[in-house]
Structures are given as C-alpha cells and as structure tokens.
Structure 1
Amino acid sequence: MAKRIANVIVDSPIREPLDYLVPADIEIQVGQRCLVPLGTRKVVGIVVGFSEESRFSKLREVISRVDDIAPLSFGWLALTSFAARYYQSGWGQVAIPALPKFFRKLPGKLHERSLERLRKEKKRAVKEPSEKPHLNSEQSAIVEEFQMDGAFYPALIFGITGSGKTEVYLHLMEKVLLSDPAAQVLLMVPEINLTPQLVERVQSRFPQLEVVSWNSGMAEGQKASSWLACHEGRARILVGTRLSVFASFKSLKLILVDEEHDPSFKSQEGVRYNARDLALKRASIEKIPIVLGSATPSLESYKNALEGKFKLFKLTQRANSNAHLPELSLVDIRKDKPVNGLSQETADAITETINSGRQVIVFLNRRGFAPVVECKNCGWQSTCPHCSTYAVFHKTTGRLTCHYCGWSTPLPKTCPKCGSYELLPIGRGTQRAEEELETRWPEARVSRLDQDSARQRGSASKVLDAVHNGDVDILIGTQIVAKGHDFKNVGLVVVLNTDPQLFSSDYRARERLFSVLMQVSGRAG
C-alpha cells in the first residue's frame, strides 16, 4: 500500500509546501502541526494538504504529530496563504510565526502537561456586570441596522471623538453573542497600552463569558493560553493588537477594528502586512460582518464607504449629552514668543486649568530629550552614520539614538569634529518638556507617557491609571496619549511643535498629522 504524501509548510522563505511521506502509524489531518526533518534540523510544520504524487524523487518522512489539539481551520489556512501571496513571503513565514512560541517549538517530555496547564488558566473574576449606558438615537440606529445574516458585511463607523463608538461595539458584540451560544468576537486595537483597559471594560460587560487578550507585551505563557482558549472555543471574545488578526477561532462571527486609520496596524518587522486589510480579507473568507471604526477614518476606507463598498454609519454628536466638542485655538508664536517652549497664552491656560481642578495633556510627538545635539563652536550635529537623519539625545540614558535603525552611542564629552566642550541640545523632546513643565509648575504632578517611559511591562498602565484616578495634573506624551483614552477630567490639550511632521518622508504626512491632531484634541471637551 502506497504511503500518503503530506504537503507541509515550515518557517522558511520557500513559497511552496514541502512534501513528506506519512508513515502508516501516524494519523494526521489538514491543519495539524507535525514534526518534520528540514536539512539537519527537526522543525514544526503545518499540514496544508495531501497529494498522490510529488515533484520530488526522494521524500523524507513525517516524524510525528506534535499533539492532539484540533486542526487549524481552512479559513485560517486560507488567510495565511493569501497574506503570503499578497505580501510576497513564504506561506510558512507567515503561518508559523503567527502561532505563539509554545505551539511552534519542538515538543518535549512535559509538552502534554504544559498543554493541560494552559487549558486550566483561570480568567479574571468580575463581580457583577456593569451598567449599560443609554444609547442615543444615532447609536441605536447603527445597532438596529447592522446586518448579521451570515454574509460578508463590511461597515465603517465614522464617529467624532467621544461619540460612543466603543459602546456601539459592545452592543454589537452582545447582539452576536446572544444569537449564537458558540459565537466568538475579535476586537482589534492599534496600541498595546489600550488593551488592558479595554479588556476590563469588555469583561465587566460580559462577566459570564471568557474574555482574553493577545499582544506582544504579554508573557509567552499568557499568549499561548489566550490563543488556545480561542482555538478551542472557550474564549468568546479576544481583544488584541495587530497580530490577533492571525488568531485561531473555532466559530468567529464578528470582527471589530477600532481606530482603523492607525498606522500601528502595519507590521514593519518580519513579514510586512496591514492587519486592518487582513481583517477585511478574513471577514470575507469567513463570510462574517466586520466593523471599522474611527473619528478620522483613512482616506481609502472613507472612499470605499462613499462608493458603497462599505456600509457607512455616522456618529455626529458626543454620547454624553452634557459633553461638548473642544474649542480649538491657534497660537501665533511669531507674536507670542515661546519661553522654554511655551507661549504666554498657553502657559496662562495651563495655570487656569490646573487651578480649576482639571487635568492638562501636553502632546509633543518627539520622544527623547532633544532631537539633535549641536556644537556651538563648529556647527557639528549628531547624525546617524547609517541613516540620513539626526541621532536623538536621551538624557535618561546619556546616549544618542537613531529612532529609525536603532544605532546608539554615548553622548561624546567633546565635539568629535573640533574638540569643543560646548555641545548644546537643540529643540525639545518629551523628556526635556517634562523637565520644563516640572520647573514651571513645581506644585503640579507631572507625568510622561512615551515609548521610553512605557518600555517596562505594566508601566504605561500605571501612568494611565494615575491619570484616571486624578493623581496626575499634567500628562506629557507622544501619540500614545492620543489613542482612544477616555479621560474624564481633562480640561485642556496643548499641542506643541506640529510643523516638523509635515516634513516627514511619509507621503501621507498631512493626513497623519490631521488625524493625530483630531484624536488628541478629542481627549478634552
């Protein structure tokens, strides 16, 4: 009797699956992981099909199946296959890294015991369900009109900041989850720091269901536990960042992409992909509805909605009837000369806001202490030797760092060109702005939130919790502070030095700047 030939993908640049003979004593299905030889190594692969013949004259054998968990679905395989073709990568280069490390490492003696431990991880306990806010007429209309009839249904919710898009998401989730006792929902967010707060909010609304998260900041054991809970259908809701578009589900019925315009949905490392676009493709493959939501939707999504390719819903008023849109004012610094980065009008507004018991957000999209260091004597400037850009000075580490390629070196004590000791920081980053704010308002509690301060696990959540609890008077930060946070007591948002963003090499610089200005201004009002 002829042996079966399994088509197996492995983590390599090879575009086509490799062929392996399947021994008679190994039962294996499409979508299951297996252990196969690759050169001198043993690697984990995924069976994507079977064939009667092979283009290779000599075949090696499948060593074993990895474990007994259910096969990956045909929809998941179709998504990873499409992503590989569309983004010009090997199928295995997309599919294998999309699995948590636990499910792509070689199985050891304790593999099955570890698998059972992952299954037994408990969800966080929630005492009682939270109250449902009353929906206004616009929100109610979206929930009532939204179609969930087992077909691909892409929709764009274009809602101003504070219009209650998240509450609409929760009602749509409820509509899906109540209609099908096995239904699962994927809620995607662009920023890792939004995940914990959103998970808490979703879990408090659905305390009887298992809600899990998946993002790059989690420990590997947590990632594996969340992935397995979704794969086996125990977790009904997954809240995750861009990688969650590749999560495995048993019965996925709805996808929601919050802040769909955000460039964080694009992967810039390893396989390049746009998670928002892949979410649309996944919804199409699975024949399920998908919601894209934003206060500043991307031009392509808005165009698709205007052309009828997406269903367009609009939220034009804030969810809280007592809330109002922020009043915007432009300070002409040619007339009101800044002192330490702040004009007198801006400084007066900050003082007035703090004295009234409200909080202030200062937005500056430059992290570090100074964008460049310059020699006062000869004009030498700190540049990256690998990129045509400046190396930013970080005072907390005492180093010059390129934010593009990662090159870093200690700040020289003297000018590398002329030997002068007069090296001066030019411009302002968030670290320098934080120092200046603390000096200007010594009685105020100032905190900083940027990629540097949020580097340690849980540090960003601590800062955000402090803001929510009223323990911060002034929050200085980069784009992290602009994304979807529901700050209750913010009375003023100050945006500093936006012009440099217009000179970015990104051809969408003007669109990106408009988006971030609308998003960060929406934290007030």
Structure 2
Amino acid sequence: MDVPLWSTFSYLADRSLPRGQRVRVSFGSRRMCGVVTNNGNAEQQYAFRIKCVDEVFDELPPLPEAFLDLVNFAAGYYHHPYGQTLFTALPTALREPRAVRLPDRRVWRLTPAGRDAEVAPRHKVRHALWQALCADDLAPEGARAVAPSAATILKAWQDSGWVTRVDAAVPPLAVEGVIPLNTAQRAALDAIEASSAPHKPWLLHGVTGSGKTEVYLQLIERQLRAGRQVLVLVPEINLTPQLIARFTQRFPLTPTAVLHSHVADGERLVAWVDAWQGRARIVIGTRLAVFTPMPELGMVIVDEEHDGSFKQQDGLRYHARDLAVWRAHRAAVPIVLGSATPCLETLANVDAGRYRRLVLAERAHHAAALPTVRLVDVRRAKRSEGLTDEVLAALADRVRKRELSLVYINRRGFAPVVACTECGWLSGCPRCSAKLVVHLLERKLRCHHCGWEEAVPHVCPDCGNTDIKPLGEGTQRLEAALGRALPTARILRIDRDTTQRREAWNDIYRQVHAGEVDILVGTQMLAKGHDFGALSLVAILNADAALYSADFRASERLFSQLIQVAGRAGRAERPGEVLLQTQWPEHPLYQALVAHDFDRYAAELLGERRQLGFPPASFQAQLRADAPTLAEASDFLHTIRERLAQPAQASGVAVCGPAPALMVKLANRERAQLVLESPQRAALHQLLNQLTEWLPAQNVGRGLRWSLDVDPQDT
C-alpha cells in the first residue's frame, strides 16, 4: 500500500488472488488501494484479527510480472519502501481505491444481417450511417462525424442484431518522409542492428545537429516491422511536442502513447493501459514513463541522457536513465543513450567496456557546420543592462537580415535581487536561504524555491532609503532592454513563466517556424533538443556564475549546457555564430568550447574526479534531515554517524558530515546532510541495507524528517 512503511500487510480474501491484483482494503480509518504481492496460507493461525479485502478491482488484469520486477529492483536499489515505490510507478487513477472506467474504443461493424438489410434513402441520416458501415468499420468518433445521433441509432441496430462491437484492426505500418542517412549515421544504425549482445548499452555520441533523431526513427522502424514496441524517454516536457510531431509525420498510423505530467489523469491512464495491453506501439515520455509496462518491448531510447531532469528529487529518488538500462538488460533488448554531451558516468562506463560508443562527428545537414564561438571579454567592454555593444550590434545585424537570434541567460524574472544602495539591504526570502527575485510585470518579489511572494517595496525596509535598485539581469529585464535597443525586433521570451499553458510550446514552434520571431530570450529550456533551422546567432550571458559553485559537478553541467545552447546555431544553410560574455576568457572550459573539443575537456574532468575519488570513481548516498532548527537536524545525523561508525569502517565506506546543505534553509526548515561514499557499490549498498533495517523504527520526533538519496546529483 502507499504508506511510508517497509512491510507488507495481511488481509483475508474469499478466493485466491493473483500477484499484481488491485484491491480495496481498510487501513486504520481509511479506505485504500492495495496491490497483492503474494498469497499467504489460508490455514495459518494468526495471533491477531485479520481484516478482509473489501473489494477486488478486476476490470483490468493483474499488473504484469515484468512491471513488478522493475518496481522491486527500484525499491531495493534506492532503499525506498516497496509500497510507495509501487504506487509512484502507477498512474494516479490506479492509485485510487476505486475501479477505473476506460473508454470503449471498439469499433462498430455490420453483421451479415445488417449488410442484407436495406435502409431506405429517404432516411438520410440512417442511410448515410449504413453506407459508411458498408464501406468499413466505424470508430465511435467516426460514427458521430457521419451522424450526430449515431449512438442512438447504433444501439437500436445492435439490439436488432445489425451491428456488433469488435476490437479495431491493427493499422498497417506506414512510414513517410524517411531522410537518407550519411555515412556515420548508417554505420551507427548498422552496428546496433548487427550487435550480438543486444542488451549491452549503446552510447550514440553525436554533435548537436548530427541527426541522432533520424537514427532513432530508423531504428524504431525496424522494431515496428518486427512487431515490437519501443520506449523513448526525453528529459523535459517541452521536448515532447517537437518529437511527437516528427514521430507522427514518420509513422502516421502507428498508435503512440505520450506520458508526462501535463497529460490529464484520464488521458494518462488510457495511454498507460494502451502500452500495457500492447495497443500503443511507441511510448514517448519523461522520467516516470520508464515504469510503463510494455509486453512486446523491443528497444529503449534515452534522448539527452546526460540531463539532470531524469533524476527525481523527492519521494522515490530514482534516475530514469539508470532504471532504463536495468530494464533493457532484464528484457535482453538494446538500449541507446543519445547525447551531444554524455555525462561522465556514461563515459566511465564506455572506458570500462560496459557500454559501446558510436560517434556522429559532423552535422547531418549537408550545408551545416558547427558554429563559430567567440568570447567577449566583459572586463574591457561597456555593458548596458547586461548586453555589450558587440552583442547588440550582432543582434541588430541579424534583425536586419531577418535571421533568428537567441539570447540565453539561465535566470528568469526581471532581476535576481533588489538592493539598497545606502545600508546594503538585499531582498532575502524570509523562509529560505535564497534571494527574492524581481518579477516586474507582476510587481512581485518571488522565491523560486518555496514560492513565497510579496510586493516590491518602494523604500528600503531597514533604513527607509528610497534609492533601492534591482541588481543583475533576468529574462524579463533582457526582453525589455532589447525592446528598447531594437524597437523593430519581434522578441519572444521563453521561460517557466511563459510556458505554463498546455499548448504554450506548440504556439512557440508555430511562431518560430512561421518566421514571426526575430529574437528568442530564454533560459535552459532552450538549451537542448530544439531545432530552429533559421537560428544563426546565440548570445550567452552570465555563464560565469556557475564557475563559483561549490558542487563538484558544476563545471560538467556548465560545459554541457553551453555546448547544447551553442549547438542551436547554424543547423541549416545559415552559418552559426556564438558570442559568450565572460570575465574569464582564458578559462579551460571556455577554451574547450571555442575549440568544440568535448572529448579533451571531459577527459580532464574525469581525471580530476578519479584523482579526488568523486563519482564516477566512487559511489555515494546522501542521508538528508530537515527540522525546525539546524541543531535538531545535525544532532540526528550525528547519532546516525555514531551508529554507522563501526560497520562503515569494517566495509570501507567513508561517512562525511553532518554538514549544512548547500541551501541550509528551505520553506522554514533547516537542512543538514550526511554523505556515505565508497569505491565499491556493493559495500555501500550493504551498509545502506543495515541502515534501513533500523532507521525507520527510530523515534526521531514529530518535527524532523529524513530522506535517503542513492547516487545523489546535488551534493
């Protein structure tokens, strides 16, 4: 059941129930949905009263064994309660203690009696419906298109034996718009097809614009022709509209399920069940889609495998890419991890021979080349609201030529903080260790971590000074500044604030591809996966901020992010140019970016990690605690450290901390963390098994919460 407990629970049923069967049971004073894990001995005598199962939900078959095996692995690897893991993996509708109702999508078909019947032409509506059925089966929506009153007519004909309901025929595979592959793409496709070890992961390492998606599509075509299903994982919701459009154009008749958080619960249930029942042949989704049951799974594709969005940051803290690798291995099917900037963990697996690497070193478009990258030294340049004269001149030139430009800054809002020039006051969040961001259009100060909002003050709250100013730039400020500097430019801002509507990304693609936009202003949402053929200039602002981060992964993330955003330029006939404003033009990261030398800089970072013993040279888990005060959280973790000292020393696991989290205060709670690290994965998990045996039973007090994160991405 969906409870934070590590045990299963015994109930009596009036018949034997298969594993995976959904039921409704009483749990305390609540009615809850449960899933049968095994059948106990009906003759067993219990020392306590056993409750009965209230209801069995048999409108769907029991959950499949492969799905339950994946859930069991995830619960064990991430040391999370099995019940909560299981219910995390289910669609919302299947977590509820009620039967689900799925739309009846069977088609209407004339019986022999119906074909022999004659409907008089004077009954125009009935005659039109009968003629349509004589030509072919009709889906309910097709019948309504012929006659709005079709449901009533068809029900009467069904009672008369003229029509019946049957499952729709599987549509034939239609493939349209296939693009010829270049030599490197063809070699990658052939290597994956010819592999004698299909379950060994492939890394498809292709520069931006190298045509990885076309390789995916042709691999998928081969799987569909063989009668198999394909799972495609993408990191962000905003990547799905463009990808779905390409898949629909290529496979117009193939049923495709789309699963992400913007899909309504009812639609998600239908898509999930379609995949489970084998009707959906392609599943495209974000990280939670990795759990989708697919009985005829033939291949898994993880696009942008390096992306941090594949890691869940609360509840079950799983990594969808890693679960996808396990799932493919378990099913003995190929898995392809695609990226222009593979993460260091993946590269380490390539070095160790566990993964195989395929390289696409050139762009797929015959006239396209990697963009020229130039560093703009802001130490010697005058800036107006964050923009140097050189960047403004380049943008103005592109506007005159009616070419598309992108101004990239990974900070939404108008400005990151408001400051007093007299006393030094800064607009801090009262609930977090963070600053309140100015959102000028709404006249609000907003915390991007806990959601706190307040009005922008007119005077300094500390000293009463009226000379308070927003410091720094965000997307809103750049949008306004560009509007003043380039009044004829058509500017479109893309960040979380402007893409909350369900159809927002479809509208963005329509405007861009219709040539209605001159300058895009956006955050990291624009840094990956998007293909804007007319984009010829990328201007990158405030990249230096990431160089000061305390996170050992910061350089890797920044390098990946910059390569990805730079790769939006020059993907078609127009040559691309990237202007990066920086105070550190001599930094090795920027020099590698100018040279488009991912391999060299990644090797340097990997060497540093190995020298320092950081992942992927070691394996980590992080025990976090949050409480009303930092002392309470730290005292709890000190107790845990003392308890772990002897077994950790015996197994060679280092225990570091406790230490305050990078953001100490979040939503009025103070946070601390304990990091467990070992060069051996097995030793780390053995210690975690001991920890989770006794930790849940500890009396930690009502005000303290703890969580365990295996393979944490933020330390």
Tell whether the structures are fold-level matches, with TM greater than 0.5.
Answer: yes
Kindly indicate whether residue 90 of structure 2 is the aligned counterpart of residue 99 of structure 1. Answer: yes
Pair 1:353-2:341 in alignment: no
State whether residues 210 and 235 of structure 1, in contact with CA within 8 Å, keep that contact through their aligned partners in structure 2: yes
Which stretch of structure 1 is more off in the superposition, 438-447 or 77-86?
Answer: 77-86
Query: Post-superposition shift, 1:129?
Result: 4.5
What TM-score does the superposition give when structure 1 sets the normalisation length?
Answer: 0.92
The residue aligned with 2:213 is: 166
Task: Name the SS of the counterpart of 2:39 in structure 1.
Answer: strand
Q: Does 1:62 align with 2:40?
A: no
How far the C-alpha of 1:340 sits from its partner, in A, is 2.2
How far apart, in 2, do the equivalents of 1:158 and 1:288 lie? Answer: 20
Deviation at 1:469, TM superposition (A): 2.0
- What amino acid is aligned across from residue 292 of structure 1 in structure 2? L
Q: Give the deviation of 1:55 after TM superposition.
A: 7.8
**Which consecutive aligned stretches of 4+ in structure 1 deviate over 6 angstroms post-superposition?**
117-123, 125-128
Say which SS state the counterpart of residue 330 (structure 1) adopts: strand
What is the CA distance between 1:345 and its match in structure 2?
1.2
CA drift of 1:420 comes to 2.2
Partner residue in 1 for 2:19: 30
1:283 aligns with 2:274: no
Question: Any idea what SS the aligned residue of 2:337 has?
Answer: strand
Query: The residue matched to 2:560 in structure 1 has which SS?
Result: helix
Corresponding letter in the other structure for 1:95: L
Report whether the alignment pairs 1:344 with 2:332.
no
1:222 paired residue number: 267
Normalized per residue, the structure richer in helix is 2
Q: How does 1:119-518 map to 2 (within 5 A)?
A: 129-147=175-193, 151-179=198-226, 181=227, 183-518=228-563
Letter in 2 for 1:355: R
Per-residue CA deviations over 1:458-515 (Å, capped at 9, x if unaligned) read 2233123211221110000000111111111001001011011222343211100000
Provide closer, same or farther for how the CA distance between residues 164 and 56 of structure 1 changes in structure 2, counting only shifts above 3 A. farther
CA–CA distance in 2 between the matches of 1:118 and 1:228? 15
The alpha-carbon deviation at position 357 of structure 1 amounts to 2.1
Aligned to 1:39: 28
CA distance in 1, matches of 2:299, 2:550: 36
Query: 256-265 vs 70-79, which deviates more?
Result: 70-79
Q: Is the 8 A contact 1:210 1:234 kept in 2?
A: yes
Q: In 2, Cα distance between the equivalents of 1:115 and 1:46?
A: 23
What is the rounded CA distance, in whole Å, between the counterparts of 1:55 and 1:396 in structure 2?
65
Distance in 2 between the 1:286 and 1:54 partners?
40
1:436-461, Cα deviation, whole Å (9 max, x unpaired): 11111111110000111112222233
Aligned-pair distance for 1:372? 0.5
2:51, 2:199 → 1: CA distance? 41
Corresponding letter in the other structure for 2:533: K
Change (3 A) 1:86 1:128: closer
- The aligned counterpart of 2:68 is 77
The separation in 2 between residues aligned to 1:351 and 1:150, in whole angstroms, is: 54
Letter in 1 for 2:492: S
Read off the aligned partner of 1:105 and give its amino acid letter.
E
Residue deviations 1:308-348, cap 9 Å, x none?
10111111011112111100000011222212211111111
Indicate how the Cα distance of structure 1 residues 312 and 417 shifts in structure 2: closer, same or farther if over 3 A, else same.
Answer: same
Stretches of structure 1 that go unaligned for 5 or more consecutive residues are: 1-9
Deviations 1:402-427 (A, max 9, x none): 22233322222322111222221000
Residue 370 of structure 1 aligns with an amino acid whose one-letter code is: A
Letter aligned with residue 20 of structure 2: G
The alpha-carbon distance between structure 1 residues 127 and 351, as it changes in their structure 2 partners (threshold 3 A), is farther
Range with greater deviation from structure 2 (157-166 or 460-469): 460-469
Partner of 2:39: 50
In the TM superposition, what is the alpha-carbon distance from 1:212 to its structure 2 partner? 1.7
Amino acid at match of 2:54: I
- What residue identity is the alignment partner of 1:35? R
CA contact (8 A) 1:118 1:224 kept: no
6, 13, 30: which one aligns with 1:15: 6
Whether the aligned pair in 2 keeps the contact of 1:78 and 1:285 (CA below 8 Å) is no
Q: Does 1:116 align with 2:104?
A: yes
Secondary structure at 2:379's aligned position in 1?
coil
Instruction: For residue 283 of structure 1, give the secondary structure of its aligned residue in structure 2.
Output: helix
Partner SS for 2:492: strand
Residue of structure 2 equivalent to 1:89 = 80
In 2 relative to 1, CA 505–456 (structure 1 residues): closer, same or farther, beyond 3 Å?
farther
Query: What is the aligned partner in structure 1 of residue 631 from structure 2?
Result: none
Structure 1 residues 4-47: Cα deviation after superposition (integer angstroms, max 9, x where no partner): xxxxxx101111222222213xx531122111221111111111
Q: Which AA in structure 1 matches 2:448?
A: H
Does the CA contact (< 8 Å) of 1:366 and 1:429 recur in 2? yes
Distance 1:206 1:252 in 2: 18
**Whole-Å Cα distance in 2 between the matches of residues 425 and 143 of structure 1?**
52
The number of equivalent residue pairs is 508
Instruction: Note the alpha carbon deviations across 1:85-114, whole angstroms, 9 max, x for none.
Output: 222221111211322222222326xx44x4
Greater mean alpha carbon deviation, residues 407-416 or residues 233-242: 407-416
Using a 3 Å threshold, how does the CA distance of structure 1 residues 415 and 205 change in structure 2: closer, same or farther?
same
Q: CA deviation digits over 1:57-104, x for unaligned, max 9?
A: 432222222133122221211111121222222111121132222222
Using CA pairs under 8 Å that are at least 6 residues apart, name the structure with larger relative contact order, 1 or 2.
1
Q: Unaligned regions of 5+ residues in structure 2, if any?
A: 108-138, 142-167, 571-715
State the Cα distance separating 1:524 from its structure 2 match: 0.5
Q: Write the distance in 1 (CA, Å) between the matches of 2:313 and 2:496.
A: 16
- Give the Cα separation in 1 of the matches to 2:317 and 2:140: 32
SS in 2 for 1:50: coil
Is the contact between residue 45 and residue 96 of structure 1 (CA under 8 Å) also seen in structure 2? no
Distance 1:91 1:442, change over 3 A: same
Correspondence for 1:7: none
CA offsets 1:369-422 (integer angstroms, 9 cap, x no match): 100000122110011223322111111322222222333222223221112222
Query: For 1:318 and 1:350, how far apart are their aligned partners in 2?
Result: 25
Q: CA deviation at 1:516?
A: 0.6
In structure 1, what residue type is equivalent to 2:189?
Answer: V
Shift of 1:117: 6.5
Q: From the superposition, tell whether residues 74 and 151 of structure 1 become closer, same or farther in structure 2 (CA, over 3 Å).
A: farther
User: How far apart, CA to CA, are the structure 2 residues paired with 1:348 and 1:387?
Assistant: 40
Tell me, in whole angstroms, the C-alpha distance in 2 between the residues paired with 1:185 and 1:57.
48
More displaced stretch, 250-259 vs 144-153: 144-153
User: Which has the greater radius of gyration?
Assistant: 2
Secondary structure of 2:104 counterpart: helix
Contact 1:121 1:225 in 2 (8 A): no
Does the 8 Å contact 2:174/2:253 carry over to 1? no
CA RMSD across the alignment: 2.3
Q: Conserved in 2, the CA contact under 8 Å of 1:373 and 1:393? A: yes
